[in-house]
Structure 1
Amino acid sequence: METLHFRFEAGAKPPAGTPQLVGVVSSGNLEVLIEPAALSGACEIEVRTAAVGFGATWEAVMRDFHARWQLADTRICINDMGATPAVVSLRLDQAVESMTGGLP
């Protein structure tokens, strides 16, 4: 297992809603927990993954996600069992939409 941490400063959109959990940890999938947190406008993401050695790929997916949503004061925890980058992006978008009511 590998744990990765990402922090993106100066987000523009604070979360609106309650914590949400989407996805299921199983072979080739992941779960995402998203919740509001007092982070001085930042978005923190922790990834726990069984696929060791893919830090650069995770960073690219997280940067793309942050560019799309610009979240502020948000904490995200991802538990991964080998999901592809496309599935990661889908689950992250699903988590945000679930918490915000679908507002980008």
Structure 2
Amino acid sequence: METLHYRFENGRRPLQATAQLVGVVSSGNLEVLIEPAPLGGACEIEIRTAANGFGATWQAVMSDFQERWQLADTRICINDMGATPAVVSLRLDQAAQTVTGGLP
């Protein structure tokens, strides 16, 4: 298992709902827990993944996600069992849409 941490400053979009869980951890998938947190406008993301050595790919997917959503005061925890980047993006978008009430 590998644990990765990312923090994005200066988000502009606070969450409109309480914590939400999207997806399930099973073969080739992941779950995303998204919740409000007092982070001074930042978005923190922690990833626990069974696929070691993909930090650069995770960084690219997380940067793309935060660029789209601009989340503020948000904590995201991801438990991954080898999901593809497309599935990761889909689950993150589903979670963000659930707690913001809209599209990016």
TM-score, length of structure 1 as denominator length: 0.98
How many residue pairs align between the two structures?
104
Query: Under a length normalisation based on structure 2, what TM-score does the superposition of the two structures give?
Result: 0.98
Q: Give SS of 1:87's match.
A: helix
In structure 1, the partner of 2:56 is 56
Unaligned runs of 5+ in 2: none
Percent identical residues: 81
- Any idea what SS the aligned residue of 2:13 has? coil
| Superposed counterparts of 1:1-104, under 5 Å | 1-104=1-104
How far did residue 54 of structure 1 move?
Answer: 0.2
Amino acid aligned to 2:37:
A
Give distance in 1, aligned partners of 2:103 and 2:37.
19
Q: What secondary structure, in the 3-state scheme, does the structure 2 residue paired with 1:40 have?
A: coil
Following superposition, which runs of at least 4 residues in structure 1 exceed 3 angstroms of deviation?
none
Letter aligned with residue 19 of structure 2: P
**Aligned residue type for 1:22:** V
